[in-house]
């Protein structure tokens, strides 16, 4: 219960008996989505002692989107305010030293500079207001970006899977073709060595090889003799034709 003297909130959670929770573990209140829906994460510690039923664990709170934005802008705002104070102090010293005419001009510059910083402070407030008013839209934009990035990661995973499958298919086809080529070559060599077929007989039968070589030589000599002495083999009969014909 919350009171004026005690504003701590005790949260009770139910945990299955099978789950062992080490002592010094932390229950962290987190944002489950960009809309600020709250949830509780159990962060285990490295303690060797286990917590018992009824023990109280430490807690922590995750900051919201608005708190994160304010945390980023607040330091700039503070620095601007500190700078304004420092400039005011320096200007007071300079005003006391310079002459009357110069002080008038300097006073105008200081007023202009003060107005500038005032506008900056006003602009910072407007930025805070815009963020507060559009927190839901900003949350939706960030959520959509996370969804897009998630889809890209899933697409990359699918592409990698497709490329891996294509590589496996290519390797399989390559191995299959190479195996078939080796088997065919081995079969050819076996047939040649076993005197089967013309190639096997030619390489392994000395008599056939000798006769073939002799026949080839005689054929070459015959062709050469025909070229050198064609009249021995070819007779031409010329018949004189009559004028009437």
Phi-psi region of 236 (alpha: psi -120 to 50; beta: other; left: phi over 0): beta
Helices (H) and strands (E) in the chain, counts: 5, 3
- Identify whether the C-beta of residue 45 lies closer than 8 Å to the C-beta of residue 22: yes
pTM over 0.85? The answer is no
Domain edges within the chain? 7-62, 67-138
- Identify whether the C-beta of residue 26 lies closer than 8 Å to the C-beta of residue 55: no
Please count the other Cβ atoms lying within 10 Å of the Cβ belonging to residue 146.
11
CA distances from 146 to 33, 140, 153 (A): 11, 10, 11
Going residue by residue through the chain (245 aa), what tens digit of pLDDT does each one get?
445 556 677 778 888 878 888 888 888 887 777 666 777 888 888 888 888 888 888 878 776 666 666 677 777 778 888 888 888 887 777 666 666 666 677 677 777 888 888 888 888 888 878 887 777 777 778 888 887 887 777 777 777 777 777 777 666 655 556 677 667 767 767 766 665 555 555 556 667 667 777 788 888 887 887 778 777 766 555 445 555 54
- Helix or strand or coil: residue 22? strand
Rounded-to-integer distance, Cα 178 and Cα 219, Å: 43
């Amino acid at each position: 219960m919350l009171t004026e003297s005690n504003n701590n909130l005790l949260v009770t959670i139910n945990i299955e008996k099978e789950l062992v929770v080490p002592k010094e573990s932390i229950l962290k209140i987190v944002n489950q989505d960009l809309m600020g829906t709250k949830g509780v994460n159990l962060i285990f510690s490295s303690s060797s002692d286990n917590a018992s039923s009824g023990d109280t664990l430490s807690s922590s709170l995750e900051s919201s989107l608005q708190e994160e934005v304010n945390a980023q802008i607040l330091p700039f705002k503070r620095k601007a305010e500190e700078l304004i104070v420092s400039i005011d102090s320096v200007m007071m010293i300079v005003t006391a030293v310079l002459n009357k005419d110069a002080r008038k001009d300097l006073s105008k510059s200081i007023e202009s500079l003060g107005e500038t910083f005032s506008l900056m402070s006003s602009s910072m407030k407007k930025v805070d207001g815009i963020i507060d008013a559009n927190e839901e839209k900003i949350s939706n934009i960030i959520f959509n970006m996370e969804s897009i990035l998630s889809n890209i990661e899933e697409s990359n995973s699918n592409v990698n899977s497709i490329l891996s499958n294509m590589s496996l298919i290519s390797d399989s086809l390559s191995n299959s073709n190479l195996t078939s080529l080796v088997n065919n070559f081995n079969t050819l060599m076996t047939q040649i060595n076993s005197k089967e077929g013309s190639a096997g007989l030619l390489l392994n039968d000395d008599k056939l090889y000798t006769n073939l070589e002799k026949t080839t030589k005689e054929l070459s000599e015959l062709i050469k003799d025909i070229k050198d002495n064609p009249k021995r083999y070819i007779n031409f009969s010329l018949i004189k034709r009559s004028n009437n014909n």
